[in-house]
Amino acid sequence: MCLAISRNYEQRRAASRDSSGRVQRNGYNAHPTSAKSKGAGVDEKTDVLIVGGGPAGLAAGIAARKYGFRVIIVDAAAPQIVKACREGLLPDTVEALARLGISFLPSEGSALRGIRFLDGEDSGQAYFPAGPAIGVRRTTLHQKMVDHAADCGVRLLWRTHVTGLNGKGVFLDGTQVYARWIIGADGAN
């Protein structure tokens, strides 16, 4: 659960619930969806627009929501996003994720006490001085971050390309969305 969101956001979210208590799709909803089904229109506005829904974009989005900003994350792909990864989260990363409200059950990964580098006959190793690292499937990490971002009220637009920028915001598949801040978290792009 995202605990540190603003009271304003909670009021908006409560106002956007229907009689069954479900969050309606025209609010800052809790469910990932695509721009096409959301109908991102020309009057769409947000405080923060993040290009890229990988670990960096999701972390930035969750952090911005904790300060009460309206956040949209746009990604050309959609979960599950599978990437080349050695699937190790170093202790600083584990700590940073915990600060965002993301932690792992023992069944979701393996604690790693240290690291060893091998190069032919040569090797070097060390134990982590403060707390363990975690080995976790990248898809597990991504899904947890996606779920937590949605719980925090981040609006997630999958299968949507950012096709351009101007001084007012970005273009999503050609449609202007206005944003006060744009964060580029588009990975190797």
Ligand X SMILES: Cc1cc2nc3c(=O)[nH]c(=O)nc-3n(C[C@H](O)[C@H](O)[C@H](O)COP(=O)(O)OP(=O)(O)OC[C@H]3O[C@@H](n4cnc5c(N)ncnc54)[C@H](O)[C@@H]3O)c2cc1C
Residue 23 or 56 having the CB closest to ligand X: 56
Q: Which stretch binds ligand X (CB under 6 A): 19-27, 34-42, 83-91, 110-118?
A: 83-91
Whole-angstrom CA distances from 17 to 11, 73, 128, 146 are 10, 22, 46, 21
Q: What SS3 class is residue 60?
A: helix
Q: Which of 23, 30, 63, 81 binds ligand X (CB under 6 A)?
A: 81
Q: Which of 1, 21, 86, 120 binds ligand X (CB under 6 A)?
A: 86
186 binds ligand X (CB under 6 A): yes
53 binds ligand X (CB under 6 A): yes
Q: Which stretch binds ligand X (CB under 6 A): 11-19, 36-44, 70-78, 123-131?
A: 70-78
85 binds ligand X (CB under 6 A): yes
- Between residue 155 and residue 174, which ones bind ligand X under the rule CB under 6 A? 161-162
189 binds ligand X (CB under 6 A): yes
Alpha helices, DSSP H, located in the chain: 7-15, 35-38, 55-66, 91-100, 138-151
Task: Give me the residues paired with residue 113 across strands.
Answer: none
100 binds ligand X (CB under 6 A): no
Residue 29 or 160 having the CB closest to ligand X: 160
End-to-end Cα, the chain, rounded Å: 32
Evaluate whether 165 touches 174 at the Cβ level (below 8 Å).
Answer: no
- A 10 A CB-CB count for 99 gives 11
- A 10 A CB-CB count for 32 gives 19
185 binds ligand X (CB under 6 A): yes
- Residues within the interface to ligand X (CB under 6 A): 51-57, 74-77, 81, 83-89, 161-162, 185-189
